[in-house]
Structures are given as structure tokens and as C-alpha cells.
């Protein structure tokens, strides 16, 4: 079998479709973007080669605000790892213990993932509406009149207001992943620990968590790269406003590509995003390996 | 649960039910919104039940919006994408886990790069390529990019599953005179069934609600997918939101029903997929 | 009416971006022309497009117009991607465009555009609310306007609503103030890039705008709202005024209250006058330079442009940029009022974001957003734009 499995022809045939698809649709455009990012180009007329000036401008220009956008998305990534994931993990651990109605809870918690971002965005616009939005109406009804805000219209609150639905929507996604992990813990391990008198918390801490570490790692990677790439909800809720306070790299990129006609600059942002995402994925993997 | 006191259990339950309500709310909101008039949607009655149940919103969404056609298009694109992704990913995974060669670890990492690429970054280059291949305004214009973007996840999931299949099976099949193709199709593929559902749902999530590609690569209204079709219901100067809500319900509820109907299967295969992935 | 027409026609000449390729006509039996636009099923422009196409096809056998409509925001990305891709197969023969976009999509200098609507910025008023504070007409001087706003505020009525989420809505307030301060000739030069923003009177206009905001004339909730929501507030009687493009006339005329319309009052009578305003034929049908049937497409664009214009006028979603063809006696009184305002126009400046090229337009819009957010003052606005746009 060794010999049969080592034949170059088979390796090539089995890999070819994936390689064509992958390189043609994903890798080649990155190459194209990297190339265009070295030019000052509006997408139509003549290209002017400017070397790394686009990148330099990105990191130095306050007018573009790339650093701020980057900070915002890193903050989102942090919140995603330290807020969204623990919540998802908590739900997964609770449901993994055969709670009554486990299946129903699981199904419902996953629903927001299935609903399109446009719907989720419209819903939260209504929740945050300064006049009739549920949030302000609720605050008024319990007498906290002066806590009411123009959530999406004030620089101070907009970022937080945009993050809440972004984090909320994917709790179910991570929960299902982690739940799957929790369920895969062999019951013998659990029972043995219980017999030794371990509490629920101890079982989770010493049996379950170490067992599902690979899944937690995947979850963390998805949470971080997903945050860096996040676009849809922010686009619907604020489109980067008010006054660029909720700008993230993706919204900047679309702005450059399609509103400002700065194709070269848009490509530079795309390249940086990819580098960042990949860098973080490697970093997270390394951290998890380290801990082993 | 035996260590928990009754009080603690009640608290946990209350928490779970509250979180359930938070997650059910969008569904409720979308449904009632689809039966309201503009003034009700914009302020008069945002979260209550509609004062007057405007079922006519649905007929106008169906009539003017051609939702049935869009639904069909979305289904065709999703099914084809899932099939292609699965086929390609299974083959690649076979090469990455079974076949013996030097750089397969490196190539695996290379494929994982796909998990990190933002879909919006590649719009224009992909558009240019598709137009050179004369594939714009066909289902392929969506199926191929969607498959490519789902591929990394699919390989990730499949790798886990395939590593679990004992190598002795290959060995004995080989001794019985099976070719590589025979092993792949007769031994490996049938055992990968649980992976199908996992890959299927990931791929489905990736392509069902996608808007950017669908908008730019398809110009013929007969080939539009649901998200674009729903968007096309809103106009520049006048926008009646009721029918848009109805269209959103028509676009979302079938998925929700299918999900609820299949949830047990989906969850099981997720469980299987997660451990191995 | 004659004045509108002559004015409009003159503008078309100036703006309508001529130059046609001199190609021999293709002798095809049936010519199919693809037309892309944003007149989706629920858009107020849709009926006008359908009627115009039906008319045109009836009058020109052998030519078929294939209409494809896209949603507004996604259309912008779509058309740009198509242009960047440079694919002749997917591009339409005729496409809807905003004047600004056209200037950036000129291909080898060949472009041909026909205006489809003519709009000005109008100050709509809820006359029922104004009556409560003793006004029976839309205020015509700035003193009158501020007095009216103060009176409204005293009664707990918010004078204006302005959608901060869509910066073009803010320009619908700021630009009229600027034109009423520095006059249309000066503003035109600035938008065209022939003069800089460095004009102390502009700083004054911005300060006026911010004073109005600080006095509470604008609904603070507007900062988080889109245009649909702000308009809904006005139509529901929450705000007394709504200043926006005249394409809203049909909707305002159908509101449950008595409506009135006027223009923003003069701020500096030395440089400007009441009948100077922001407006023009901002929407155009453009012929694609790569079309295989450029001649047929150009002819069709001209005819369709006129017809769409006409039907839009009848449907009360736009002012005509061309001579209306038929009887127009069925118009609503509000539409007639707007037509009257347009007829008396003494100077027009195109909407800023459509008059400028894409990149400067975005820079300009971000400064307008800063003004509305109170981040910079008048002098800061002028200094910033002078610095960034030269």
C-alpha cells in the first residue's frame, strides 16, 4: 500500500481540483491585491507606481484613520475572546450535562446564526432607536431617564452599541462547537471523577476543559479572525460612523474601493487584513501549543 | 447534577430560558414586522403585535419581488456549492491524510490560510477572472467562489474525520486488490457520511446570506439570489418596509424550519465533526 | 414654466457631458439594449421607467429595452466593479448614474448622459404645526425662521430633523445655508475646483448652522438615524420642517397634515438672493462607451430620459429637466408650488457630493459630518477643506 499511496500521479489528481479552486479564487486575487497596492490607481485610468507609499500613508495619516479602525477591530477581537467565548463555553458546559430541554435550547441558541445579518441589523437599529427603541423605552419606564442615550449616534456609545449585536449573533455558533466538544468527553472519565468526589466545577476544570482544548483553540481562532474581518453588521448599523468612531478595516476598505475610487489603497488594506488574520491564527496556535 | 442544590438549578434554568427569549426575539420581531404598515414599523408600534394584520404584504412581496424564483436560485447555488465543496474537499483531504509525500503538512497549513481571508478583499480580481472566463451571469459565477471560500473549513472538518478511519481498512482493501480509487470511493467516502452534514451546514451558512458577490457577479434578475432580491425590494426614494419584512420572512423561515427539523442530525454531526476537527 | 424649461435646457447643455462616438449604425434586425438603473419595484421612479420604455418600444419597432433594477447602495458598488473589470459583455448599453460618478467613469473621453429628473432642495413645512405658533406661511427671512423655531421649541415641538447617519442629508441643510451666504457663482466655482474653500463667509455659514444645532433646532436623535426614519418623523408630525430634495414632494403632499414648501432664507443679501438654491439634474441616463450599439443607445437614452422625466413629474417624484410633453393639470398643489419656486430660480448649484469627483466628495462629506457632530467649527471646516482639497 505504501508504494501505491506514494505515487505522484495520485497525489496530483487528488489535489488538483482543490488547488485550482483555491489558488484561482483565493490566492491569485491576493497576489493581484498585493500588486495593485503598490500603485496609485483609481481602478480605471493609468496606474502610477508608488511603491509602499499606500502602506506608509495608512499607518501615518490621521485622515484615513486606519490605526483607529485597527484598534477597534482588535478591541472587538479581545471582547470576543474574553466575553463571547466564556459565555458560549458556559452555555455549552451547562447544556452538556443533560439539562431538560437541552435540544430545544441548543436549537434556539443557534437561530441568530441562521438569520441574515441584514435582518439582525435592522432589528438592532430598532432596539437602539433613540425615540421608540426598546432600550430607551425600557430605561425610561424604570425611571432611569438620564441613562438614555442616542446609542448609535454618539461617539462614546456607538462602538459598544455596535459590538453587542456582533458578539451576540455568534454566541450560538461557538456554543455549538464547544458543546460538541463537551459531548465528546468519554462518560467514563466524568463518572470516575465523580466517584472520587469531584464537584461539577472540578470536573469541568480538570476533565472537560483539557479534553476540549483543541476545540477551544479553533473557537479562539475563529473569534479573532472573524472579528478582524467583521463587516456586515457594522455596515448596516453605522457604516463606520458617527465620525468614524466605529470604523473597522473592512469598512475602510470598501470605502476606499467603491466610494473614493482609491483602488490601490483599498488593496493595501486588504493585504494588511489578510496578513493580520493569518498572523493571529499562527500566534494563537503557537500559544496553545506552548501551554501543552 | 446531583451536587447542585435545587435553588442553583432553578437559577440556571431561569438563565437558560431568558437567553432563549433573547434569541427567539428576532424571529418574533421579523414575523410581526412583516405584517405591519410603515407608520407602525417606524415608531407607532415597534415591538407589539400588528394592530392590523397586513397579509397583503406577503402577496405584494411574492408578486413584485419574484421571491419564489430567488428562492429557487439560492437553493440551486447552495446545493451545487455544497456538492462541489464536499467532492473537492474529500479528494484533497484524502491526499493530505492518506497519501504519502513530503510537504503535506505545509500544504495543509496553506489551505488553512483560506480561513483567514476576508471575502470582500477579492471582489474585483475575482470579477475580472469570471468575466474573462465568460462566467458572469451564470450560476457558476457564485458557485465557484462560494466553493473556494468554503473549501478550507471543509478540509479542516474532513481531516478530523478521515484521521479517525483506521488505516487497517485501507491496508486490507489494498490486499484485496483495491486500487486507490477503489479505496477512496468504496471504503473512505461511505465512512465520511457524518462529515457531510457538518460540511454541509458550514457551507450553507457561508453562501445562503452572502450579499456582496451575489450582487456584483449577477446582473440578470432571473438569476438573482434571495439576499439580493430582498435588497432590490427597497427603492431610493420610496420604501415600503412591510413587504420587505415579508420577503425576509420568506427568505429566512424555510431555513429555520429545515434547521429545526434536522437539528438533531445537524447537532450530532457537529459533535462528531468538532472533536475530530 | 418657460423659465424652468429654458433654465433646465441650458443646464443640460452645460452638464450633459456630450461627445458621441461617430460609429456607423449597426444594421441589426432586433437590437436589444440593456438598461441598468435603481428603479426597483418599490422605487417611486419605477412606473416612469416602465411607461417610458413601453412608449419607446412602441415608437421604435426592432428595439427592445431590457431593464434591470438594483438597490441603491449595492448598485454603486456593482457599477464600479463592472467598470473596473472593464468587461464589455456584462456592461449595459445605458445605465443610470449620478453626475459625480460619470465624471469618474469617463472612458477615453467618451460619455453621453441625459438628465432624467430635475430636483432642488426644498424646505418642507408642516403648516398645521406652524399654525399652532401663529404662522400661516413658510418663514422667508432668517429672523422669521429663528423666531418661528424658538416659538416651536417653546411649545415643545422640534423644528428640524436631519439624518446624521447619511451625510448627504446633512449637506441638504448645510449647502443651502452656504449658497444663501456666498451666492451661487462662488459656490459653483468651489465645487468645480476653480476656487478654494478659503472664504471667511463659508466659515460664517457653518457657524450659523452650528448655532441652529446648539439652540436645539435639530432633533438630537437624528444623529443616529437614516433618512427614511427622519422623513418618517416629519411625516408623523414629530418635526415641523424637513429640508431635502424635491423628489419627496409626492410623499409630503400625501401626508395627513397641510403641507407647505419654501426655500431656506437669505443670509447675506449682498452676495445671494432668495431664489438661489441647490439643485439640478443630478440623475442621468448615461450611454456606455463600450456599447456595441452606441448610436441606438444614445438615441434611446435621449428619448427615455425625456419620457422618464415627464412621467416622474406627473407622478410627483421629480421636476422636469425637459419640456413636459403632455397635459400636466393633474398635479398636486404642492408640486405646483415647487414648480413655481423652480420657475423663479435665479441661480443653481448642483448637490455638492454629485458635483465633485469621488475622492474629494468623500473628503468633503467627512468634513460635513464633523461639522454636524460639533467636532470642528466654521474656521476649522474652511481650513481643513482648503488644506485637503487645495
**Residue B14 burial (10 A CB sphere; 0-12, 13-18, 19+):** exposed
Chains sharing 3 or more CB pairs under 8 A with chain A: B, C
Taking CA B10 as the corner, what is the angle to CA B5 and CA B13, rounded to the nearest 5 degrees?
A: 130
Cross-chain residue pair C38–B233, CB shorter than 8 Å:
no
Query: Is the residue at C18 inside a domain?
Result: yes
Cross-chain residue pair A15–B92, CB shorter than 8 Å:
yes
pLDDT value, residue C6: 41
As a whole number of angstroms, the distance between CA A239 and CA C224 comes to 11
Decide if C45 touches B, using CB distance below 8 A: yes
Q: What percent of chain B has pLDDT over 90?
A: 19
Query: Is the residue at B16 inside a domain?
Result: no
As a whole number of angstroms, the distance between CA C118 and CA C241 comes to 22
Q: What percent of chain A has pLDDT over 90?
A: 33
Give SS3 for A198: coil
Cross-chain residue pair C233–B43, CB shorter than 8 Å:
yes
Helix %, strand %, coil % of chain A (to 5) = 75, 0, 25
- Written in H, E and C, the secondary structure of A88-129 is HHHHHHHHCCCCCCHHHHHHHHHHHHHCCHHHHHHHHHHHHC
Domain of B184 in residue numbering reads as 66-232
Cross-chain residue pair A242–C165, CB shorter than 8 Å:
yes
Structural domains of chain A, ranges and CATH numbers in brackets: 69-291 (1.10.3720.10)
What are residue C287's DSSP bridge partners?
A: C94, C112
Q: How many residues does chain C have?
A: 390
As a whole number of angstroms, the distance between CA A130 and CA A151 comes to 7
Q: Which residues of B touch C90 (CB under 8 A)?
A: 131, 136-137, 219
Cross-chain residue pair C375–A154, CB shorter than 8 Å:
no
As a whole number of angstroms, the distance between CA C201 and CA C271 comes to 10
pLDDT value, residue C3: 42
Give every CB contact of residue C359 below 8 A, 6+ residues apart in sequence.
A42, A260, A261, A262
Contact C225, C242 (CB under 8 A): no
pLDDT value, residue C302: 83
Check pLDDT > 90 for residue A82: yes
Give every CB contact of residue C10 below 8 A, 6+ residues apart in sequence.
none
Contact C285, C304 (CB under 8 A): yes
Query: Is the residue at C343 inside a domain?
Result: no
Query: Is the residue at B15 inside a domain?
Result: no
As given in the structure block, the three cell numbers for residue C26 are: 449597426
What is the band of B1 on the pLDDT scale with cuts at 50, 70, 90? very low
Query: Is the residue at B225 inside a domain?
Result: yes
**pLDDT digits over B144-200, tens only?**
999 999 999 899 888 888 888 888 888 888 888 888 888 899 888 888 887 887 788
Cross-chain residue pair A43–C84, CB shorter than 8 Å:
yes
Q: Which of C336, C369, C340, C339 is nearest to C352 (CA)?
A: C369
Q: How many domains does chain B have?
A: 1
Chains sharing 3 or more CB pairs under 8 A with chain C: A, B
Give mean pLDDT, residues C122-145: 94
Q: Which residues of C touch B237 (CB under 8 A)?
A: 43-45, 247-248, 317
C27 or C282, higher pLDDT: C282
Give mean pLDDT, residues A3-12: 84
Query: Is the residue at B38 inside a domain?
Result: no
Contact C357, C103 (CB under 8 A): yes
Contact A249, A243 (CB under 8 A): no
As a whole number of angstroms, the distance between CA A276 and CA A55 comes to 14
Q: Rounded to a whole number, what is the largest CA-CA distance in chain C?
A: 71
Query: Is the residue at C345 inside a domain?
Result: no
Check pLDDT > 60 for residue A187: yes
As given in the structure block, the three cell numbers for residue B56 are: 397583503
Judgement on whether residues C170 and C241 belong to the same structural domain of the protein: yes
Give SS3 for A132: coil
What is the band of C17 on the pLDDT scale with cuts at 50, 70, 90? very low
Cross-chain residue pair A261–C388, CB shorter than 8 Å:
no
DSSP string, A7-63: -HHHHHHHHHHHHHHHIIIIIHHHHHHHHHTTEE--SSS--EE-TTHHHHHHHH-TT
Domain of C50 in residue numbering reads as 2-118+281-325
Mutation for testing the A interface, residue in C87, C106, C166, C224 having most A CBs under 10 Å: C224
Contact B143, B130 (CB under 8 A): no
What is the band of C24 on the pLDDT scale with cuts at 50, 70, 90? very low
Contact B82, B199 (CB under 8 A): yes
Give SS3 for C134: coil
Chain C nearest CA to A43, separation (Å): 5
B231 or C5, higher pLDDT: B231
Give every CB contact of residue C334 below 8 A, 6+ residues apart in sequence.
C249, C252, C253, C259, C260, C261, C316
Contacts 24+ apart (CB under 8 A), B168-174: B170/A1, B170/A5, B170/B98, B171/A1, B174/A1, B174/A4
Tell whether the torsion through CA atoms of A66, A67, A70 and A72 is positive or negative. Answer: negative
Query: Is the residue at B98 inside a domain?
Result: yes
Judgement on whether residues C107 and C123 belong to the same structural domain of the protein: no
Q: Which of B105, B106, B275 is nearest to B194 (CA)?
A: B275
pLDDT value, residue C229: 84
As a whole number of angstroms, the distance between CA C168 and CA C176 comes to 13
Check pLDDT > 50 for residue C325: no
Decide if C58 touches A, using CB distance below 8 A: no
Q: Which residues of A touch C223 (CB under 8 A)?
A: 150, 153-154, 242
Q: Which of C354, C351, C383 is nearest to C367 (CA)?
A: C383
Give SS3 for C225: coil
Contact C7, C322 (CB under 8 A): no
What is the band of A70 on the pLDDT scale with cuts at 50, 70, 90? very high
The CATH number of the domain where C258 resides is what?
3.40.190.10
As a whole number of angstroms, the distance between CA A74 and CA C118 comes to 46
Query: Is the residue at B169 inside a domain?
Result: yes
Check pLDDT > 50 for residue C21: no
pLDDT value, residue C330: 62
Check pLDDT > 50 for residue C19: no
Decide if C221 touches B, using CB distance below 8 A: no
Element of type H or E holding C112: strand C112-115
Q: Which residues in chain B (8-47) have CB-CB distances under 8 A to chain C?
A: 38-39, 42-44
Cis peptide before A242 (omega within 30 of 0): yes
Query: Is the residue at B267 inside a domain?
Result: no
As given in the structure block, the three cell numbers for residue A89 are: 463555553
A136-150, C254-268, C299-313: which has the highest mean pLDDT?
C254-268
Number of A:C CB contacts under 8 A? Answer: 83
As a whole number of angstroms, the distance between CA C267 and CA C276 comes to 12
pLDDT value, residue B136: 85
As given in the structure block, the three cell numbers for residue C43 are: 422605487
Contact B146, C103 (CB under 8 A): no
Q: Which of B268, B272, B52 is nearest to B165 (CA)?
A: B272
As a whole number of angstroms, the distance between CA A248 and CA A251 comes to 6
Q: Which residue has the cell 448637490?
A: C351
**pLDDT digits over B78-125, tens only?**
999 999 999 999 999 999 988 888 888 889 888 888 887 878 778 878
Taking CA C172 as the corner, what is the angle to CA C319 and CA C315, rounded to the nearest 5 degrees?
A: 25
As a whole number of angstroms, the distance between CA A65 and CA A245 comes to 10
Give mean pLDDT, residues C62-70: 89
Contact C262, C140 (CB under 8 A): yes
Radius of gyration for the alpha carbons in chain A, expressed in angstroms and rounded: 23
Query: Is the residue at B126 inside a domain?
Result: yes
pLDDT value, residue B142: 94
Chain A nearest CA to B76, separation (Å): 18
Contact A99, A200 (CB under 8 A): no
Taking CA C14 as the corner, what is the angle to CA C8 and CA C16, rounded to the nearest 5 degrees?
A: 85
Give mean pLDDT, residues B235-259: 78
Radius of gyration for the alpha carbons in chain C, expressed in angstroms and rounded: 21
As a whole number of angstroms, the distance between CA C297 and CA B186 comes to 59
Judgement on whether residues C159 and C268 belong to the same structural domain of the protein: yes
Average pLDDT, chain C: 82
Judgement on whether residues C269 and C310 belong to the same structural domain of the protein: no
Give mean pLDDT, residues C54-82: 85
Give mean pLDDT, residues C186-207: 92
Q: Which of A170, A181, A187, A171 is nearest to A209 (CA)?
A: A181
Give first-to-last CA distance, chain A, whole Å. 34
Cross-chain residue pair B221–C43, CB shorter than 8 Å:
no
Contact A159, A72 (CB under 8 A): yes
Judgement on whether residues C62 and C154 belong to the same structural domain of the protein: no
Q: Which of A78, A44, A26, A150 is nearest to C229 (CA)?
A: A150
A7-16, A227-236, C80-89, C198-207: which has the highest mean pLDDT?
C198-207
Q: How many domains does chain C have?
A: 2
What is the band of C259 on the pLDDT scale with cuts at 50, 70, 90? very high
Query: Is the residue at C334 inside a domain?
Result: no
CB atoms within 10 A of CB C218: 24
pLDDT value, residue A212: 87
Judgement on whether residues C83 and C155 belong to the same structural domain of the protein: no
pLDDT value, residue C111: 56
pLDDT value, residue C8: 43
Number of B:C CB contacts under 8 A? Answer: 109
Give every CB contact of residue C55 below 8 A, 6+ residues apart in sequence.
C307
- Written in H, E and C, the secondary structure of chain B is CCCCCHHHHHHHHHHHHHHHHHHHHHHHHHHHHCCCCHHHHHHHCCCCCCCCCCCHHHHHHHHHHCHHHHHHHHHHHHHHHHHHHHHHHHHHHHHHHCCCCCCHHHHHHHHHHHHHCCHHHHHHHHHHHHHHCCCCCCCHHHHHHHHHHHHHHHHHHHHHHHHHCCHHHHHHHHHCCCCHHHHHHHHHHHHCHHHHHHHHHHHHHHHHCCCHHHHHHCCCHHHCCHHHHHHCCCCCCCCCHHHHHHHHHHHHHHHHHHHHHHHHHHHHHHHHHHHHC
The CATH number of the domain where B208 resides is what?
1.10.3720.10
As a whole number of angstroms, the distance between CA C313 and CA C365 comes to 29
Check pLDDT > 60 for residue B47: yes
* DSSP alpha helix (H) spans, chain C: 2-15, 46-59, 72-85, 99-105, 127-132, 142-154, 167-182, 184-191, 200-214, 227-235, 249-253, 294-314, 333-343, 352-355, 358-372, 378-389
What is the band of C118 on the pLDDT scale with cuts at 50, 70, 90? confident
Query: Is the residue at C337 inside a domain?
Result: no
Amino acid at each position: 500500500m505504501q508504494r501505491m499511496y506514494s505515487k505522484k500521479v495520485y497525489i496530483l489528481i487528488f489535489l488538483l481540483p482543490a488547488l485550482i479552486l483555491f489558488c484561482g479564487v483565493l490566492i491569485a486575487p491576493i497576489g493581484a491585491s498585493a500588486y495593485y497596492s503598490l500603485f496609485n490607481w483609481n481602478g480605471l485610468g493609468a496606474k502610477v507606481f508608488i511603491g509602499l507609499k499606500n502602506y506608509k500613508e495608512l499607518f501615518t495619516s490621521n485622515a484615513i484613520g486606519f490605526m483607529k479602525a485597527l484598534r477597534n477591530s482588535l478591541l472587538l477581537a479581545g471582547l470576543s475572546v474574553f466575553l463571547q467565548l466564556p459565555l458560549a463555553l458556559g452555555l455549552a458546559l451547562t447544556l452538556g450535562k443533560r439539562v431538560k430541554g437541552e435540544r430545544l435550547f441548543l436549537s434556539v441558541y443557534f437561530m441568530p446564526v441562521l438569520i441574515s445579518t441584514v435582518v439582525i441589523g435592522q432589528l438592532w437599529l430598532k432596539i437602539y432607536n433613540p425615540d421608540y427603541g426598546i432600550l430607551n423605552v425600557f430605561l425610561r419606564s424604570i425611571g432611569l431617564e438620564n441613562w438614555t442615550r442616542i446609542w448609535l449616534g454618539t461617539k462614546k456609545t456607538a462602538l459598544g452599541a455596535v459590538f453587542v449585536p456582533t458578539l451576540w449573533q455568534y454566541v450560538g455558533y461557538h456554543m455549538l462547537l464547544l458543546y460538541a466538544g463537551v459531548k465528546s468527553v468519554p462518560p467514563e472519565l466524568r463518572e470516575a471523577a465523580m466517584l472520587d468526589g469531584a464537584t461539577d466545577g472540578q470536573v469541568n476544570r480538570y476533565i472537560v476543559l483539557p479534553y476540549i482544548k483543541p476545540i477551544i483553540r479553533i473557537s479562539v481562532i475563529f473569534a479573532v479572525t472573524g472579528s478582524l474581518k467583521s463587516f456586515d453588521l457594522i455596515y448596516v448599523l453605522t457604516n463606520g460612523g458617527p465620525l468614524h468612531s466605529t470604523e473597522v478595516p473592512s469598512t475602510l476598505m470598501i470605502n476606499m474601493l467603491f466610494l473614493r475610487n482609491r483602488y490601490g489603497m483599498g488593496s493595501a488594506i486588504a493585504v494588511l487584513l489578510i496578513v493580520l488574520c493569518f498572523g493571529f491564527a499562527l500566534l494563537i496556535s503557537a500559544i496553545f501549543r506552548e501551554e501543552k | 447534577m446531583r451536587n447542585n442544590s435545587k435553588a442553583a438549578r432553578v437559577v440556571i434554568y431561569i438563565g437558560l430560558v431568558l437567553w432563549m427569549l433573547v434569541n427567539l426575539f428576532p424571529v418574533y420581531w421579523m414575523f410581526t414586522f412583516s405584517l405591519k404598515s410603515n407608520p407602525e414599523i417606524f415608531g407607532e408600534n415597534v415591538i407589539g403585535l400588528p394592530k392590523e394584520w397586513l397579509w397583503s404584504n406577503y402577496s405584494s412581496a411574492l408578486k413584485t419581488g419574484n421571491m419564489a424564483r430567488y428562492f429557487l436560485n439560492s437553493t440551486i447555488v447552495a446545493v451545487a456549492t455544497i456538492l462541489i465543496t464536499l467532492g473537492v474537499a474529500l479528494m484533497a483531504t484524502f491526499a493530505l491524510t492518506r497519501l504519502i509525500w513530503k510537504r503535506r503538512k505545509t500544504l495543509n497549513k496553506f489551505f488553512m490560510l483560506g480561513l483567514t481571508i476576508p471575502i470582500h478583499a477579492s471582489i474585483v480580481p475575482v470579477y475580472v477572472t469570471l468575466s474573462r472566463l465568460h462566467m458572469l451571469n451564470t450560476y457558476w459565477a457564485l458557485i465557484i467562489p462560494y466553493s473556494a471560500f468554503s473549501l478550507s473549513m471543509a478540509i479542516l472538518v474532513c481531516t478530523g474525520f478521515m484521521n479517525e478511519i483506521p488505516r487497517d481498512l485501507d491496508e486490507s482493501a489494498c490486499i484485496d486488490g483495491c486500487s486507490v480509487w477503489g479505496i477512496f470511493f468504496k471504503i473512505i467516502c461511505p465512512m465520511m457520511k457524518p462529515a457531510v452534514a457538518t460540511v454541509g451546514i458550514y457551507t450553507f451558512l457561508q453562501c445562503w446570506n452572502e450579499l456582496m458577490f451575489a450582487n456584483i457577479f449577477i446582473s440578470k434578475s432571473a438569476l438573482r439570489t434571495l439576499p439580493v432580491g430582498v435588497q432590490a425590494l427597497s427603492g431610493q426614494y420610496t420604501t415600503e418596509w412591510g413587504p420587505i419584512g415579508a420577503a425576509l420572512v420568506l427568505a429566512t423561515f424555510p431555513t429555520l424550519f429545515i434547521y429545526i427539523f434536522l437539528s438533531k442530525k445537524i447537532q450530532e454531526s457537529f459533535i462528531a465533526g468538532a472533536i475530530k476537527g | 414654466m418657460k423659465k424652468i424649461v429654458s433654465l433646465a435646457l441650458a443646464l443640460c447643455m452645460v452638464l450633459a457631458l456630450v461627445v458621441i462616438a461617430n460609429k456607423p449604425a449597426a444594421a441589426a434586425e432586433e437590437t436589444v439594449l440593456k438598461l441598468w438603473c435603481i428603479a426597483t419595484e418599490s422605487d417611486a421612479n419605477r412606473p416612469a421607467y416602465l411607461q417610458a420604455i413601453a412608449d419607446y418600444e412602441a415608437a421604435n419597432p426592432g428595439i427592445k429595452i431590457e431593464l434591470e433594477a438594483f438597490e441603491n447602495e449595492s448598485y454603486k458598488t456593482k457599477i464600479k466593479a463592472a467598470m473596473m473589470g472593464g468587461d464589455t459583455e456584462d456592461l449595459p448599453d445605458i445605465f443610470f448614474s449620478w453626475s459625480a460618478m460619470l465624471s469618474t467613469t469617463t472612458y477615453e473621453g467618451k460619455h453621453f448622459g441625459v438628465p432624467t429628473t430635475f430636483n432642488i432642495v426644498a424646505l418642507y413645512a408642516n403648516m398645521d404645526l406652524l399654525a399652532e405658533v401663529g404662522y400661516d406661511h413658510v418663514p422667508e427671512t432668517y429672523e422669521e425662521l429663528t423666531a418661528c423655531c424658538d416659538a416651536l421649541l417653546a411649545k415643545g415641538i422640534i423644528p428640524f430633523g436631519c439624518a446624521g447617519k447619511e451625510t448627504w442629508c446633512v449637506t441638504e441643510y448645510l449647502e443651502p445655508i452656504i449658497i444663501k451666504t456666498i451666492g451661487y457663482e462662488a459656490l459653483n466655482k468651489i465645487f468645480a475646483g476653480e476656487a478654494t474653500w478659503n472664504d471667511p463667509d463659508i466659515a460664517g455659514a457653518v457657524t450659523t448652522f452650528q448655532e441652529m444645532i446648539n439652540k436645539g433646532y435639530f432633533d438630537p436623535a437624528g444623529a443616529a438615524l437614516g433618512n427614511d426614519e427622519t422623513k418618517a418623523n416629519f411625516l408623523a408630525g414629530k418635526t415641523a420642517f424637513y429640508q431635502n430634495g424635491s423628489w419627496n414632494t409626492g410623499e409630503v403632499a400625501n401626508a395627513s397634515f397641510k403641507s407647505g414648501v419654501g426655500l431656506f432664507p437669505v443670509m447675506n443679501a449682498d452676495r445671494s438672493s432668495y431664489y438661489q438654491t441647490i439643485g439640478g439634474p443630478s440623475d442621468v441616463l448615461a450611454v456606455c462607451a463600450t456599447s456595441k450599439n452606441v448610436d441606438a443607445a444614445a438615441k434611446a437614452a435621449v428619448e427615455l430620459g425625456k419620457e422618464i422625466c415627464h412621467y416622474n413629474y406627473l407622478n410627483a417624484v421629480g421636476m422636469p429637466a425637459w419640456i413636459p410633453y403632455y397635459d400636466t393639470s393633474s398635479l398636486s398643489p404642492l408640486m405646483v408650488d415647487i414648480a413655481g419656486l423652480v420657475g423663479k430660480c435665479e441661480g443653481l448649484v448642483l448637490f455638492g457630493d454629485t458635483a465633485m469627483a469621488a475622492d474629494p466628495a468623500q473628503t468633503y462629506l467627512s468634513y460635513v459630518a464633523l461639522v454636524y457632530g460639533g467636532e470642528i467649527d466654521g474656521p476649522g471646516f474652511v481650513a481643513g477643506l482648503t488644506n485637503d482639497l487645495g
